[in-house]
Amino acid sequence: MSVDPASYADRLRQQPIFAVWSPAELVELLRVCQLQSHTDGEVLFVERDPASQFFFLDVGIVELFSTSVDGKEKILEIMQAGDLFAEAVAFMEGKYPVTARCQGRCKILQIPFAPFVAILDRDPRLMRRILAQLSMRLHFLVKEVRMRSIESANRRVCNYLLELSESAAPQADFSLPAKKVSIAARLGLTAETFSRVLRRLQDAHAIDMQGQHIVILDRKKLLAISLA
């Protein structure tokens, strides 16, 4: 489905890599984009597939994961509505490094690499912005790997909840963005361990939990548990 540029130009401009693009540049890019609807469990691309486009998640949740030689899946990121993903591959001229799968029904904007890179080539300022954002993303991923390798289960879960609460500010309540089993995998935990830590936090009156809905009752207590 083709895209009405007026419907998406402002939303893309909220993304750091598009923040300095002119309206004309955004319209030029959006005219060659496609908007697609996807069903629960549908795979967008598979690890090592040839890459030709990246994506803006309009509605839904997408899991990015890798598969080990013994067939086990490792969830690396959980993308939410408003997120871009696979944009770094535009500069690699190669293959997707992960698999992307929809969790629930999704609506996704497909952004082809060729016109995207062509616009960047005309304006070094845009290219510098992209490189800065990719560097920040790399720093974040290194931090994630460190967290999974040395931090306790309590700290991983507490820090994750604190990050979600900051995104939801000024509200102290929010819904978990994905299934608990997927979040657990992203944190490098089993689903059982993740649920056990949540119950422990609830028993300590640091949080209240009803299904997927979380309320931060005592932020200081949550911080103390994460640092214990």
- Other beta carbons within 10 angstroms of residue 42's beta carbon come to 16
Instruction: Indicate the domain borders of the chain.
Output: 5-149, 151-227
What topology is assigned to 151-227 in CATH? Arc Repressor Mutant, subunit A (1.10.10)
Question: Taking the mean position of all CA atoms in its chain, how far away is CA 162?
Answer: 16
What pLDDT shows up at residue 76?
86
Integer angstrom CA distances of residue 184 from 14, 179, 191: 29, 9, 5
The span from the CA of 224 to the CA of 155, in Å, is 10
For residue 110, what is the enclosing H or E element? Answer: strand 99-112
Helices 153-168 and 191-203: crossing angle in degrees, nearest 10, is 70
Structure tokens at 15: 């993304």
What pLDDT shows up at residue 168?
60
What pLDDT shows up at residue 147?
62
Of 149, 151, 170, which is closest to residue 159 (Cα–Cα)?
151
Any idea which residue has 């820090």 for tokens? 159
Q: What is the pTM of this model?
A: 0.73
- Identity of the residue numbered 34: Q
Q: What is the pLDDT along the chain (228 residues), one digit of tens a residue?
A: 778 888 899 899 888 888 888 899 999 999 999 999 999 999 999 999 999 999 999 999 999 999 888 888 888 889 999 999 998 888 776 899 999 999 999 999 999 999 999 998 888 888 777 777 777 767 666 666 666 665 788 988 998 999 888 876 655 888 998 889 889 988 888 889 999 999 999 999 999 999 999 999 998 999 898 887
State the Cα torsion 164-167-171-174 to the nearest 10°.
-40
Decide whether 5-149 matches 151-227 in CATH topology: no
What pLDDT shows up at residue 5?
84
Q: Under CATH, which number does the domain 5-149 receive?
A: 2.60.120.10
